[in-house]
């Protein structure tokens, strides 16, 4: 995979988001470990945000590994009341907004697993789509493993939703490519030596992740970002009111 870099100029979408009245600049900066005092200027600096995203994603994954191993993580992000799922969703949203596409898959898979375990099947399917649409098929083995792990999780999602036929179709596709059906349960999934590279089809047979039958595209996550930012703004205002 080519190493995706954020563009030198802000995209229209990101410009619009940052210019939106009420954009939770301080909250976003806090999640990325950026000093809120200079957040408005800092979030205009692509290189600075990219570096902050990389650090935050690494910190999140390490803290989530600790949590999944039964230990209590004590890092900055782990102390956030929305850790792990809410923090993971925020990092995915920021990575999409700042076009750090390569930082999406690992965190999005963790979020999808949490959503599935919480019974939020439609959200889990949406994040499964994000994992798969954020990798380039066959370019890197670790990305292939993440995409296949997401595909294996989709089997469980569909089974619980009562769509046994589609779940069976995907399960047979996994078997044909020598992919373990429970690959998604691994915190750091790796493919067996005899498995095949990710084939690039987000859902076998065009299976959609949404009840409205519309496939979720990578760009569609910006709709979610609007909701995320609104929620973060409400949190920020509530904190300010409490402090006042």
User: Which residue's entry shows tokens 């493919």?
Assistant: 191
pLDDT of residue 17: 80
pLDDT of residue 228: 55
Residue 37 Rama label (left phi>0; alpha psi -120 to 50; beta): alpha
Cis ω before 162 (30° cut-off from 0): no
pLDDT of residue 191: 93
pLDDT of residue 211: 43
Give the model confidence (pLDDT) of 97-116 as tens digits.
898 989 999 999 999 999 99
Q: How confident is the model at residue 184 (pLDDT cuts 50, 70, 90)?
A: very high
Closest CA to 89 of 219, 237, 232: 232
215 DSSP 8-state letter: P
Has residue 135 got a pLDDT over 80?
yes
pLDDT of residue 244: 61
Please state the rounded mean pLDDT for residues 5-34. 75
Q: Do 53 and 94 form a contact (C-beta atoms < 8 A)?
A: yes
Lowest mean pLDDT among 9-18, 23-32, 139-148: 9-18
Has residue 165 got a pLDDT over 50?
yes
Please state the rounded mean pLDDT for residues 105-132. 92
- Going from N- to C-terminal start, the domains of the chain cover 9-99, 101-213
pLDDT of residue 129: 86
């Amino acid at each position: 995979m080519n190493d995706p870099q954020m563009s030198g100029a802000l995209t229209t979408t990101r410009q619009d988001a940052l210019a939106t009245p009420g954009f939770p600049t301080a909250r976003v900066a806090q999640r990325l470990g950026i000093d809120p005092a200079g957040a408005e200027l800092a979030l205009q600096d692509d290189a600075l945000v990219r570096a902050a995203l990389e650090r935050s994603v690494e910190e999140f994954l390490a803290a989530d590994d600790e949590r999944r191993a039964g230990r209590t993580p004590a890092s900055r992000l782990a102390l956030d009341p929305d850790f792990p799922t809410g923090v993971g969703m925020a990092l995915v949203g920021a990575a999409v907004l700042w076009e750090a596409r390569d930082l999406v898959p690992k965190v999005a898979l963790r979020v999808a697993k949490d959503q599935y375990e919480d019974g939020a099947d439609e959200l889990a399917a949406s994040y499964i789509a994000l994992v798969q649409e954020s990798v380039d098929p066959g370019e890197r083995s670790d990305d292939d493993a993440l995409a296949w792990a997401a595909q294996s999780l989709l089997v469980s999602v569909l089974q619980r939703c009562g769509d046994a036929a589609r779940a069976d179709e995907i399960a047979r596709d996994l078997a044909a490519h020598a992919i373990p059906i429970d690959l998604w349960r691994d915190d750091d999934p790796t493919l067996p030596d005899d498995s095949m590279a990710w084939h690039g089809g987000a859902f076998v047979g065009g299976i959609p992740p949404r009840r409205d039958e519309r496939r979720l595209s990578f760009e569609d996550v910006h709709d979610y970002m609007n909701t995320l930012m609104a929620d973060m703004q409400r949190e920020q205002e509530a904190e300010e009111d409490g402090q006042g």
